[in-house]
């Protein structure tokens, strides 16, 4: 039988105070919704995302999973019910998109607990350090008897450390039946998903709680909680990187993305930021204050300090990218070096080439981007300006301070600067004239 995850993502997220839907705010460079969908995809056969009206950007993020729309926001049970036609004939779990960090192992434990046969409904629960704002999970004989919100809890119930995380799982028939039975006779006139616990117990079905870590089940409803979730995810990513053989000299200052891939014996110095889409091969050194995104760094390369690798960049084996060097959509060949104060955009640079300090590839003419092609073993002199489209063939040489606007043939030296003229004694005359004035 199939398993289905219903992800509720229709909330407006007013506490975020943002024009961006709450579930599209990013953690480690990835929207919250996509964190949860990735975990669900490892466990469930089908995923259905419930949206509010006019949430096309969230629908795009949910693709290729099925999407249904809750036209009227009448509560969480009402939202889940909008997906009933897609429940299938197996287990159905209902999750919240603003609980983005649940790991696949916890979702699998939830399914396994439901399948154990002694409970018709299973839920995820947690023990936060500060449980005050969470609903308490009240148990009796090892099973859940009810969930009570903090505001409604007695002093004894407020002492309970086990809290509701909002994730429920039942077989499709029970889930559909209980959702249809939920009433809205409460102060807000909404249909609440938590009422399923009472309905399950009333129908003679036991309710089981599965505990998972708070860092997985934490809700993200504000900018403060978003920052707290970011810190928790970064701690996990840093730990995983180090356990896989990378050295982070000062881990708390390194920021990784959800998909950052660091090889073995990589050294990352302090204050380095990895945007999405970065792969780093073995034995790479990334020096302090560098920023990398959507790029690949090959084995043995040295990056930084203060380097920036932008999308579409590939750094070759044992190549060097030095301080205040920026690469964009550029292939820096094996053993090539760009060590100082340069911008290299839309370029291919051959192996063994040296890029002198202050070099610029002028890749944009105000209307379109153009490429610079630099061959192998080329020496680009200090403060060269390469006006694309232009090609420097293998073994060519540009003199320092040159503006290169034409192709340079193999083993040719190019001079693209004004002729120097020396005026004997003019410096002394100039100083004397300034003193008189």
Asked if 292 contacts 309 with a C-beta cutoff of 8 angstroms, the reply is yes
Query: What is the Cα Rg of the chain in Å?
Result: 30
Nearest CA-CA partner of 228 in 238, 241, 215 = 215
340 a catalytic residue: yes
Tokens 């399950």 sit on residue = 200
The helix/strand/coil state of 364 is strand
Alpha-carbon distance values, 278 to 25, 29, 293, 320 (Å): 20, 11, 6, 17
Nearest to 323 by CA among 357, 280, 275: 357
Degrees to nearest 5, angle at CA 249 with 244 and 252: 90
Cα distances from 197 to residues 108, 139, 164, 289, 363, in angstroms, run 20, 11, 11, 51, 63
- For the record, the structure tokens of 225 come out as 């909680």
User: Catalytic one among 340, 370, 383, 424?
Assistant: 340
**Per DSSP, what are the bridge partners of residue 169?**
93, 122
Q: What is the DSSP letter of 150?
A: G
Catalytic machinery residues: 340
């Amino acid at each position: 039988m199939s398993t289905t995850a219903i992800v509720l993502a229709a909330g407006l997220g007013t506490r975020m105070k943002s024009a961006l839907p709450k579930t599209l705010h990013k953690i480690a460079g990835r929207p919250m919704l996509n964190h949860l969908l990735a975990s669900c995809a490892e466990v469930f056969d089908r995923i259905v995302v419930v949206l509010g009206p006019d949430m096309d950007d969230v629908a795009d993020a949910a693709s290729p999973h099925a999407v249904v729309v809750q036209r009227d926001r009448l509560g969480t049970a009402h939202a889940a019910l909008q997906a009933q036609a897609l429940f299938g004939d197996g287990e159905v779990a209902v999750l919240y998109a603003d609980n983005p960090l649940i790991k696949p192992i916890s979702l699998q434990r939830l399914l396994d607990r439901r399948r154990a046969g002694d409970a018709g409904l299973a839920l995820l629960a947690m023990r936060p350090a500060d449980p005050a704002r969470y609903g308490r999970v009240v148990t009796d004989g090892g099973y859940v008897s009810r969930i009570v919100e903090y505001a409604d809890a007695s002093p004894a119930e407020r002492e309970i450390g086990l809290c509701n995380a909002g994730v429920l799982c039942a077989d499709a028939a029970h889930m559909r039946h209980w959702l249809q039975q939920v009433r809205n006779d409460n102060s807000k006139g909404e249909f609440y998903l938590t009422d399923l616990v009472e309905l399950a117990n009333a129908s003679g079905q036991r309710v089981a709680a599965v505990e998972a870590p708070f860092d997985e089940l934490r809700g993200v409803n504000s900018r403060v909680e978003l920052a707290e979730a970011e810190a928790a995810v970064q701690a996990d990513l840093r730990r995983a990187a180090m356990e896989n053989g990378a050295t982070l000299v000062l881990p708390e200052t390194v920021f990784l993305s959800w998909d950052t891939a660091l090889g073995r014996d990589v050294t990352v110095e302090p204050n380095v930021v990895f945007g999405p889409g970065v792969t780093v091969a073995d034995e790479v050194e990334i020096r302090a204050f560098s920023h990398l995104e959507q790029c690949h760094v090959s084995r043995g390369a040295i990056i930084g300090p203060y380097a920036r690798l932008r999308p579409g960049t590939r750094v070759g084996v044992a190549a060097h990218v030095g301080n205040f060097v920026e690469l964009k959509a550029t292939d820096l060949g094996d053993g090539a070096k760009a060590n100082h104060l340069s911008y290299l955009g839309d370029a291919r640079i051959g192996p063994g080439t040296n890029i002198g300090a202050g070099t610029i590839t002028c890749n944009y003419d105000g209307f379109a981007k153009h490429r610079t092609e630099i061959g192998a073993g080329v020496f680009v002199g200090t403060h060269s300006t390469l006006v694309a489209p232009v090609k420097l063939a293998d073994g060519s040489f540009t003199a320092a301070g040159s503006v290169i606007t034409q192709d340079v043939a193999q083993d040719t030296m190019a001079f693209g600067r004004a002729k120097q003229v020396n005026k004997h004694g003019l410096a002394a005359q100039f100083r004397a004239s300034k003193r008189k004035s």
